[in-house]
Amino acid sequence: MKLKKILSIAATGIVSLSLLAGCGGDNNANNGSSEDAGAKPVTLRLAHNQPEDHPVHASLMELSKLTDENSDGSVKVEIFPNGQLGQERDVIELVKSGTLDMTKVSASALEAFDSNYGIFSLPYIFQSKEHYYEVMDNSEAVQEIFQGTKDDGFIAIGWYDAGQRSIYTVDKKVTSPDDMSGLKIRVQESPTSISMIEAMGGAPTPMSYGEVYTSLQQGVIDGAENNETALTNSKHGEVAKAYTYTEHQYVPDVLIVSTAMWEKLSDDQRNAIQEAAKASSESHKDAWKKAIEKSVNASKEMGVTFYTIDKQAFIDAASPLHEAYKQQSEQNAAFFDDFQSFLK
């Protein structure tokens, strides 16, 4: 284990040095004032951990294209998919340090860096997809959370739909928390997600997304929780054959940028990126819907069975987490109430 940790640290160091070396080119435009940045082309590096056939990669490519157009070529965004520059925790650290310019990560991964992001992982905080969209697009609390980490090295400037998250296992349908008893379920490295699986009756097993396939295959875990695209794009459907629609979370993917980089851009350049992020987020909703339909059909051909259940037992089991969250602070209670105010 020590050797593995040493190798991991060494690999992260190599990535950091490579990125620093890369910043010696176009990113030198960032070294001047905001005024100077507006006069020179800037290339920003954006990393994420999804494969190139994933809908979020296509949306980030659209972000890159629109940023180029909106900025009249003064800002380029170079995309690094497939976890090339590290898993989510790694790339968040790189963005915080200013070594990497941007990344797309799950809101759950950001909870380890700012506890306010924990609200996005609360089970059943969103009652439906429509409620989810209303909050993410219009909530002042969301924007407060997004901007609240400025002094910690990053801010969020946009979000992408990552769908609902449900339980899938190697072979077991789960209709109630009783069925979850003893099941080792992979979760993201989020304290809230860990507590959620415990409340739902399972044994949470935090691990990076890239380890899930082999862990399912080798019996290290019994299942995981994610949206339907995980079954096809990451081939989890080859080893997990039972997908139960618990729909316990709608956790957004969040686009974060380095504060150091952001403050070196001109106002026009920042606006160009933000407009591109908003437009690509909106078009992503339709792309996501189509991707889910495609994944479900392909998963059925792989032998995956989809189960729709009465979720009330899971909702009841998870509800104490809402009360615990609100009691932690007045701010938490205000955030929670803001989210619920968008229910129709």
**277-323 tens-digit pLDDT:** 999 999 999 999 999 999 999 999 999 999 999 999 999 999 999 99
Strands of the sheet with 75-80, listed across from one edge:
75-80, 42-47, 102-106, 253-258, 154-160
Q: Is the pTM of this model over 0.85?
A: no
Strands of the sheet with 184-187, listed across from one edge:
203-206, 184-187, 223-226, 165-169, 242-249, 305-308
pLDDT per position as a tens digit, 114-163: 999 999 989 999 988 999 999 999 999 999 999 999 999 999 999 999 99
pLDDT in tens, the chain (344 residues): 434 443 444 444 444 444 544 443 344 444 444 444 445 789 999 999 998 988 999 999 999 999 999 999 999 999 999 999 999 999 999 999 999 999 999 998 999 999 999 999 899 999 889 999 999 999 999 999 999 999 999 999 999 999 999 999 999 999 999 999 999 999 988 788 899 999 999 999 999 888 999 999 999 999 999 999 999 989 999 999 999 999 999 999 999 999 999 999 999 999 999 999 999 999 999 999 999 999 999 999 999 999 999 999 999 999 999 999 999 999 999 999 999 999 88
Distances (CA, A) of 258 to 96, 97, 102: 6, 8, 6
Of 231, 171, 228, 169, residue with least CA distance to 200: 169
Residue-level pLDDT at 331:
96
Name the packing angle between helices 312-328 and 330-340 (round to 10°): 140
- Which domains are seen in the chain, by residue range? 2-161+252-292 (3.40.190.170), 165-250+294-340 (3.40.190.170)
